[in-house]
């Protein structure tokens, strides 16, 4: 099991760890501040002992760091990891904005999330809606920015799954969290949104800046996609 430092302090940019396993181009540490790819979020990038980390993935409770070539490290070696912080912080801003957006759309339409992709420059959220025009998008984005400007605090905590699924609006995915997850991590954004989520977020919505709606797409029957960014 890899200790998730990014859950303990999402603002930790530098960390020390020890190598647990090396397999080809991939390295597993006893702990890491690198957030892995998953849940629609791209992974962090950065360096470990000065060697560039190109992607971070997870399998169960194990987090693996991938390099362009096999790293000159062995089991037990101490290492220092450094995140590409500007990139990570943009992902955090985008991710928190996506939660607020999904909450606004859910409140106004009852729609659930059918997919999402959170990137540093441009992100998207898909909803199970039969219509989604430019005018509606503008209204939703305005509501998101009203919430952002309130300077809402974000907090995280854990809840057992059987309790979490009884809380209205807690799971906004069209497909709920897998039954195998006995304990869910909860992200609460002031009084605007509470969702089960495992990703990284800002501490306060003031950090998001301004959310800008870019375009919408029809992705098939009852599936509408909204692209956005933050400035």
We report the CATH number of the domain holding residue 75 as 2.40.30.130
Q: How far is CA 64 from CA 4, 28, 59, 60, 200, in A?
A: 12, 5, 8, 11, 17
Q: Could you tell me if 60 and 139 lie in one domain? A: no
Residue 85 phi, psi (nearest 5): -65, -40
Q: Could you tell me if 76 and 129 lie in one domain? A: no
Domain total in the chain: 2
Q: Could you tell me if 73 and 177 lie in one domain? A: no
- pTM for this structure? 0.93
Walk along the chain (231 residues) and give the pLDDT tens digit of each residue: 999 999 999 999 999 999 999 999 999 999 999 999 998 999 999 999 999 999 999 998 899 999 999 999 999 999 999 999 999 999 999 999 999 999 999 999 988 899 999 999 999 999 998 877 778 889 999 999 999 999 999 999 999 988 887 887 776 665 655 556 788 899 999 999 998 899 999 999 999 999 999 998 888 788 899 999 999
Residue 65 phi, psi (nearest 5): -105, 125
We report the CATH number of the domain holding residue 139 as 3.30.980.10
- Tell me which residue range forms the domain holding 155: 88-230
Q: Could you tell me if 131 and 219 lie in one domain? A: yes
């Amino acid at each position: 099991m890899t200790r998730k430092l990014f859950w303990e302090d999402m603002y930790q940019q530098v960390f020390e760890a020890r190598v647990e396993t090396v397999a080809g181009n991939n390295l597993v540490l006893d702990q890491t501040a690198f957030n892995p790819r998953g849940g629609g979020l791209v992974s962090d990038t950065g360096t470990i002992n000065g060697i560039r980390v190109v992607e971070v993935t997870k399998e169960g409770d194990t987090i693996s760091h991938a390099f362009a070539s096999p790293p000159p490290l062995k089991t037990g070696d101490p290492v220092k990891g450094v995140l590409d912080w500007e990139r990570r912080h943009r992902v955090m801003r985008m991710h928190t904005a996506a939660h607020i957006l999904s909450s606004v759309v859910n409140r106004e339409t009852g729609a659930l999330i059918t997919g999402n992709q959170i990137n540093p420059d441009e992100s998207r959220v898909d909803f199970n809606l039969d219509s989604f025009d430019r005018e509606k998008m503008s209204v939703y984005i305005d509501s998101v920015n009203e919430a952002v400007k309130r300077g809402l605090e974000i907090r995280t905590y854990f809840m057992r799954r059987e309790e979490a699924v009884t809380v209205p609006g807690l799971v906004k995915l069209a497909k709920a969290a897998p039954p195998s997850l006995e304990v869910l991590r909860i992200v609460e954004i002031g009084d605007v949104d509470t969702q089960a989520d495992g990703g990284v977020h800002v501490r306060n919505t003031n950090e998001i800046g301004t959310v800008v709606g870019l375009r919408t797409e029809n992705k098939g029957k009852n599936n509408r996609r909204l692209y956005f960014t933050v400035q």
